[in-house]
A and B are shown apart, each in its own frame.
Chain A
Amino acid sequence: MAVAVGGAIGAHTVAVLCTIAWSLLLAAAVDRAFVGGEGLGAVAPVLVAMAAVLVVRSAAGWVAEVRADHASGRLRARVRADLVAHLFAVGPAGLGRERTGEVAGTVGAGVDALHDHVTRFVPAAAMAVVAPVLVFVAIAVLDPWTTLILLFTGPMLILLLAVIGRRTRALTERRFDELGWLSAFYLDMIRGLPTLKAFRRSGDGADTIEDVSRRFGDTTMEVLRTAFQTSLVMEWAATAATALVAVQVSFRMIETGLPFGTGLAVLVLTPEFFLPFRRLALEYHAGQSGDAALARIAEIEALPACAPPVLGPVDGPTFEHPPAIELVGVRYRYPDASGDALDGLDLGLGAGETVALVGLSGAGKTTVARLLLRFVDPSEGHVRADGVALTDLDPAAWRRSVAWVPQSPTILAGTVADNVRLGDPAASDERVRAALELARATTFVDALPAGADTVVGERGLQLSGGQRQRLAIARAALRDAPVVVLDEPTAHLDDELEAEVVAAIAELLRDRTALVIAHRPSTAAMADRVVRLEAGRVVGSGR
């Protein structure tokens, strides 16, 4: 990362060199007026030179800021793009439902936390090495004796920082964990506020917040005291060294005739030796949150890829006619699970046949659907379509032959038509309309303020569960794929709608090979065959 901000570090180095030159000029000016007794006219060129050096120094500071920002922008764009590409490779099955918020947070705010890390912490860390060395060399040239003080305090400071720093680091990391925890706790309380109110317990909620927050503050102060001791030591070392330099320089001016100009230059330069350490301590926070973000990003990037990503349209063989699908001896175990989700499953779907899967939750119904969508591939056994193993096909090309209606479809920010066009981006308005008609969605869509052009989703109009479901069916209809996978499509519907949607689905499934996960009798009833799963195996099959 230091390479990325190389430009910024170079500019900072120029600024340090300017500071050294400026300090020497300052000492020279005072020396010529005080010791040399020269007037303003004679000293003026030195003062003009000081101003000139200042201009260079502030220009270098400007460049450093802009370069660091530039590096951060490029780095974050790249990290975010890589992360998203990897998420698609991991796929929905690998990600796990409960981690959605955390993963989304890393893609958004997590990557942004790298900004301060790159623009502040990394340059400060680099300059904590470069600047003291340059200042040390300057002082060594001017007055080697003074470097003894720096040699004593400098390494002592670094040693102390390393020793205390390691301890503080562990403590600070814990503090960050706790801070994240406290924030999550507060969010939990606010989200639960209506529930607390319903149970007449919001007063207790406020008390709990005060109590937890106060206790958190107290324990954090314990931790921070150590951090403050570090800064006390650092501050003390810096000021003590400055005082020591002043005293010993003045003694040697009297005893050994050290020139005043040299003494003053050394005195002015001494704080500059310690300044970078203090700057680094100030940016410690940025470093910590950047490290935490990097760790979370690495964690996600370590998730195994379940299917290669598809960016943009992919060409490949598609199935023109509904294929016969067979699952032979399929075994599947989720990465963190202790048992098999599917335990040697054999299941055949004839060409154009609709098979309903029933069984208790955890029986493996969803895993079968995921296999057909290639969100997961079997650990053992095969899934074949017309005799071709799915694993021999490009996942994206295969998925073009599959339409999917999930139990809780996600509505993307955009218009109703945009959401239906997820099934086929190139579809004409007429085809979108036909798909909505098939899904029995035209009545509610026409009642929306702008019909199919109404913006829905997070910042638009909120749709009910039944409305979302019908849009998902329209998506699938527009897809016009030979294979359809449906996950309890009538879960959110009332009786009247259910009858309508069952009719819509029957129309959708005609002449397609279909797998339907069914909880409700009406869903199972539309299948050609009902298959019962138990503990990852087929235990019954019938009409």
Chain B
Amino acid sequence: MSAGEGPPVLRRMIAVFGRLRWWVVLAGLLSALTLGAGIGLMSMAGYLISRSAIVDATEGLTLAIVGVRFFAITRAVARYLERYVGHLGTFRMLTRARVWFFAGIEPLAPAALAEERSGDLLTRIVDDVETLQDLPLRVMAPPIAAALAAAVGSVVLGALDPALAVVLVVFLLLCGVVLPLATRRSSTALTDALAADRALTNATSVEGVSALADLVAYGREDLFVDRLAELTERRRTTERRLARVRATNVALSVLLAGLAVVAALALGVALLADGRIEGVMLAVVPLAVIATFEGVAPLAASFEHVDRTRAAAGRLLDLVDRPPAVAEPPAGAELPVPSGEGRVELDGVRFRYRPEGDDVLAGATFTIPAGAQVAVAGPSGAGKSTIAALLLRFWQPQAGMIRLDGVDLAAMGSEAARATVAVVAQHDHLFDTTVRDNLRLGDADCDDDHLWSVLAAVALDDVVRAMPGGLDARVGEDAGRLSGGERQRLMIARALLAEAPVLVLDEATAHLDPATEQRVVEGITAWRAGRTTVHVAHHPPVSFSPDLVLEVRDGQVLERA
């Protein structure tokens, strides 16, 4: 666990929940009330039948009978309230955790999360957030409840004789503290190894299923089958060991709880023989011990939840703790605002993605005049897309300066930069919602007429009209219900709606057939009406007639005639 530095992971995680923590405390108290009522019920019942053995009328028993009934009802009601309060608190806390994490990684995306971009790693992050739901009810509340129940049990037995309470406390500590700690030591490494192998199984499955066509075509199905079999085999070794640890844990907690009863009973018999407790109280001793262990025995098994939530919280905190790749100007400062003409200047910009990597841009210098129609060409990997990412302030150059309308990009801050530049990038995301909601990301207050006109501009209006529900049609996960070309056009339409002074289209028409591409490019040009528009492509659209052609090559940007 690399998040081991500083305050413990779980404490930091719990701190995120702020005052919502009291829900857990309340649930713990109610749980203790349930357990306490159980102790009361069994103690009273034991006393009642012991008393009945030595009296010959029911008169003196009324109090005990009422007590038994009272504890029975209390227990049932407390259990109901405990579950209700506990779950309500859990949902609130999970909501808080989701928002906290989203806000936490917002400044990091996409630069500091570059290696998390692959699907299954992000899925694991989301699973980690979901895992936090075990934190309140399976990690935080049980020790509170167990401690209080242990106190109640000790008081009941202590009232009979302090020595009985001592015996109880010794066994409670063995079962509730020593055993979980000892088990954790042997289990943590196994749990971590298993979690890693589970993740590997998932990743292998994703790889195998994605590569299904390649494997079948080349008759190498065995590659996937063997890799999974090997992984299964290795996991079995870990799982078997973990099962032994768990089994030993269960066996020992049963043994300790039972021995506590036997020991307390032996002591009770001895105390009775010495006349230090009453005979009618003897039955109370084992029954109270049994009821007390009801709350403590589960602690022995809770180590798995502790390990799992701690590991999940550790991974999330590791992410949130990363330094952002882009420094924002100090909050509260008066920031310069670009005029909105749409002039872009790069001046000696040097940039590399990683300190140990090669320069992607090595002193790039060029100017795009306001309102220019520009084509950016160059071989793949030359840094064309990097320029777009720099303009959005997703990254920042190591040297040189970028200016929008003469204002330093770093000084104006990300908000103003992104208000000035809109980008249609290759890895842009379409949300699993309606066509309308996806478009409105570009302009939240846009009416339907306007949406239809922008769809017409990108030659997508007929497609959307044919979809069930039109603008209300859902596009599916990753816009899976749209073809590659339709997806691209929807992204272009969304970016057009933003009406930014500068629009950069990065390979945005690559999947379109020539006829459609021509319509879309003409539509874009008409919509932009003379505002700065940049087409980045290794095959610039045929129908696009640029005022300026820039070529990116070997980290330099050259102006082509």
A residues within 8 Å of B by Cβ? 22, 26, 29-30, 33-35, 39-40, 43-44, 47, 50-51, 54-55, 57-59, 61-66, 68-70, 73, 76-77, 80-81, 84-85, 87-88, 91-92, 95, 97-98, 100-101, 103-105, 107-109, 112, 183-202, 204-206, 209-210, 213-214, 216-218, 220-221, 224-225, 228-229, 231-232, 235-236, 239-240, 242-243, 245-247, 249-251, 253-254, 260, 263-264, 267-268, 271, 307, 309-314, 360-361, 373, 375, 396, 399-400, 402, 404, 406, 409-410, 412-413, 422-423, 425, 457-459, 464-466, 475, 479, 491-497, 519
- A210 smallest CB distance to B (angstroms): 5
| B170 on interface, CB distance cutoff 8 Å | no
| B15 on interface, CB distance cutoff 8 Å | no
- What are the residues of chain A within 8 A of B261 when measuring CB–CB? 26, 50
Closest partner residue, chain A, to B281 (CB atom): A34
- What are the residues of chain A within 8 A of B538 when measuring CB–CB? 493-495
| B155 on interface, CB distance cutoff 8 Å | no
Q: 8 other contacts beyond A26-B286, A66-B240, A221-B87, with CB at 8 A cut-off?
A: A98-B478, A107-B209, A108-B203, A194-B427, A198-B418, A232-B79, A263-B52, A458-B207
A30-B286, A58-B252, A187-B122 known; A260 vs B209 contact (CB < 8 Å): no
A197-B109, A246-B49 known; A62 vs B283 contact (CB < 8 Å): no
| B545 on interface, CB distance cutoff 8 Å | no
- What are the residues of chain A within 8 A of B202 when measuring CB–CB? 104-105, 108-109
| B28 on interface, CB distance cutoff 8 Å | no
- A1 smallest CB distance to B (angstroms): 18
Closest partner residue, chain A, to B50 (CB atom): A34
Checking A40, A108, A112, A422 against B273 with a beta-carbon cut-off of 8 angstroms, the contacting residue is: A40
Q: Are B265 and A30 in contact (CB under 8 A)?
A: yes
- Mask, B450-480, CB within 8 Å of A = 1, is 0000000000000000000000000011101
Interface residues of B in 256-274 (CB under 8 A from A): 258-259, 261-262, 265-266, 268-270, 272-273
Of the candidates B109, B208, B269, B539, the one having the most CB atoms from chain A within 10 angstroms of its own CB is B269
- What are the residues of chain A within 8 A of B367 when measuring CB–CB? none
Q: Are B126 and A104 in contact (CB under 8 A)?
A: no
Number of A-B contacts (CB under 8 A): 425
Q: Are B80 and A228 in contact (CB under 8 A)?
A: yes
- What are the residues of chain B within 8 A of A95 when measuring CB–CB? 209, 212
17 contacts between A and B (CB under 8 A): A22-B258, A34-B282, A57-B258, A84-B224, A84-B225, A183-B127, A193-B110, A213-B99, A231-B83, A246-B44, A247-B69, A402-B217, A410-B210, A459-B203, A495-B379, A495-B538, A519-B513
Mark the stretch among B53-61, B144-152, B159-167 that contacts chain A: B53-61
Q: Are A195 and B106 in contact (CB under 8 A)?
A: no
| B246 on interface, CB distance cutoff 8 Å | yes
- What are the residues of chain A within 8 A of B427 when measuring CB–CB? 194
Checking A29, A195, A495 against B265 with a beta-carbon cut-off of 8 angstroms, the contacting residue is: A29
Of the candidates B110, B213, B220, B418, the one having the most CB atoms from chain A within 10 angstroms of its own CB is B213
In the assembled complex, the Cα of A112 lies from the Cα of B254 at a distance in Å of: 28
- A387 smallest CB distance to B (angstroms): 24
Q: Are B205 and A361 in contact (CB under 8 A)?
A: no
| B251 on interface, CB distance cutoff 8 Å | yes
Checking B48, B229, B240, B414 against A73 with a beta-carbon cut-off of 8 angstroms, the contacting residue is: B240
Q: Are B441 and A199 in contact (CB under 8 A)?
A: yes
Interface residues of B in 35-93 (CB under 8 A from A): 37-38, 41-42, 44-46, 48-53, 55-58, 61, 64-65, 68-69, 71-73, 75-77, 79-80, 83-84, 87-88, 91-92
Q: Are A197 and B48 in contact (CB under 8 A)?
A: no
Mark the stretch among B5-13, B428-436, B525-533 that contacts chain A: B428-436
Q: Are A50 and B262 in contact (CB under 8 A)?
A: yes
Checking B204, B269, B485 against A33 with a beta-carbon cut-off of 8 angstroms, the contacting residue is: B269
Closest partner residue, chain A, to B285 (CB atom): A30
- What are the residues of chain A within 8 A of B239 when measuring CB–CB? 69, 73
Q: Are A54 and B254 in contact (CB under 8 A)?
A: yes
- What are the residues of chain A within 8 A of B258 when measuring CB–CB? 22, 50-51, 54, 57-58
Q: Are A464 and B381 in contact (CB under 8 A)?
A: yes
In the assembled complex, the Cα of A195 lies from the Cα of B168 at a distance in Å of: 60
| B498 on interface, CB distance cutoff 8 Å | yes
Checking B80, B209, B425 against A231 with a beta-carbon cut-off of 8 angstroms, the contacting residue is: B80
| B408 on interface, CB distance cutoff 8 Å | no
Checking A40, A232, A458, A466 against B76 with a beta-carbon cut-off of 8 angstroms, the contacting residue is: A232
Q: Are B209 and A40 in contact (CB under 8 A)?
A: no
In the assembled complex, the Cα of A519 lies from the Cα of B512 at a distance in Å of: 10
Q: Are B52 and A40 in contact (CB under 8 A)?
A: no
- A383 smallest CB distance to B (angstroms): 16
Q: Are A34 and B122 in contact (CB under 8 A)?
A: no
- What are the residues of chain B within 8 A of A54 when measuring CB–CB? 254-255, 258-259, 262
Of the candidates A183, A229, A239, A491, the one having the most CB atoms from chain B within 10 angstroms of its own CB is A239
The 9 A-B residue pairs with the shortest CB-CB distance, nearest first, are A217-B91, A69-B243, A65-B247, A494-B538, A246-B45, A92-B213, A250-B52, A108-B202, A192-B429
Q: Are A242 and B243 in contact (CB under 8 A)?
A: no
| B214 on interface, CB distance cutoff 8 Å | yes
In the assembled complex, the Cα of A314 lies from the Cα of B220 at a distance in Å of: 11
- A481 smallest CB distance to B (angstroms): 10
Q: Are B72 and A242 in contact (CB under 8 A)?
A: yes
Q: Are A47 and B265 in contact (CB under 8 A)?
A: yes
Checking A87, A375, A399, A492 against B218 with a beta-carbon cut-off of 8 angstroms, the contacting residue is: A399
- A68 smallest CB distance to B (angstroms): 8
- What are the residues of chain A within 8 A of B125 when measuring CB–CB? 190
Q: Are A264 and B52 in contact (CB under 8 A)?
A: no
- B511 smallest CB distance to A (angstroms): 9
Checking A260, A311, A373 against B221 with a beta-carbon cut-off of 8 angstroms, the contacting residue is: A311
Closest partner residue, chain A, to B78 (CB atom): A235
Q: Are A199 and B254 in contact (CB under 8 A)?
A: no
- What are the residues of chain A within 8 A of B79 when measuring CB–CB? 231-232, 235
In the assembled complex, the Cα of A61 lies from the Cα of B287 at a distance in Å of: 22
- B219 smallest CB distance to A (angstroms): 5
- A101 smallest CB distance to B (angstroms): 7
- B131 smallest CB distance to A (angstroms): 11
- What are the residues of chain A within 8 A of B207 when measuring CB–CB? 410, 412-413, 457-458
- What are the residues of chain B within 8 A of A47 when measuring CB–CB? 262, 265-266, 269
In the assembled complex, the Cα of A497 lies from the Cα of B510 at a distance in Å of: 16
Q: Are A242 and B45 in contact (CB under 8 A)?
A: yes
Checking A43, A92, A235, A519 against B269 with a beta-carbon cut-off of 8 angstroms, the contacting residue is: A43
| B30 on interface, CB distance cutoff 8 Å | no
- A452 smallest CB distance to B (angstroms): 18
Checking A235, A260, A465 against B53 with a beta-carbon cut-off of 8 angstroms, the contacting residue is: A260
Q: Are B477 and A184 in contact (CB under 8 A)?
A: yes
- What are the residues of chain B within 8 A of A43 when measuring CB–CB? 266, 269
Q: Are B380 and A103 in contact (CB under 8 A)?
A: no
- What are the residues of chain A within 8 A of B432 when measuring CB–CB? 184-185, 188
| B371 on interface, CB distance cutoff 8 Å | no
Closest partner residue, chain B, to A361 (CB atom): B483
Q: Are A422 and B220 in contact (CB under 8 A)?
A: yes
| B322 on interface, CB distance cutoff 8 Å | no
- What are the residues of chain B within 8 A of A250 when measuring CB–CB? 48-49, 51-52, 58, 61, 64-65
In the assembled complex, the Cα of A33 lies from the Cα of B266 at a distance in Å of: 10
| B232 on interface, CB distance cutoff 8 Å | yes
A108-B204, A361-B485 known; A422 vs B269 contact (CB < 8 Å): no
| B248 on interface, CB distance cutoff 8 Å | yes
Q: Are A309 and B255 in contact (CB under 8 A)?
A: no
In the assembled complex, the Cα of A518 lies from the Cα of B48 at a distance in Å of: 90
- What are the residues of chain A within 8 A of B126 when measuring CB–CB? 183, 186-187, 190
Closest partner residue, chain A, to B478 (CB atom): A98
Of the candidates A58, A196, A263, A373, the one having the most CB atoms from chain B within 10 angstroms of its own CB is A58
- B326 smallest CB distance to A (angstroms): 10
Interface residues of B in 93-108 (CB under 8 A from A): 94-95, 98-99, 102-103, 105-106
Q: Are A254 and B57 in contact (CB under 8 A)?
A: yes
In the assembled complex, the Cα of A66 lies from the Cα of B444 at a distance in Å of: 58
Q: Are A267 and B49 in contact (CB under 8 A)?
A: yes
Interface residues of B in 214-243 (CB under 8 A from A): 214-225, 228-229, 232, 236, 239-240, 243
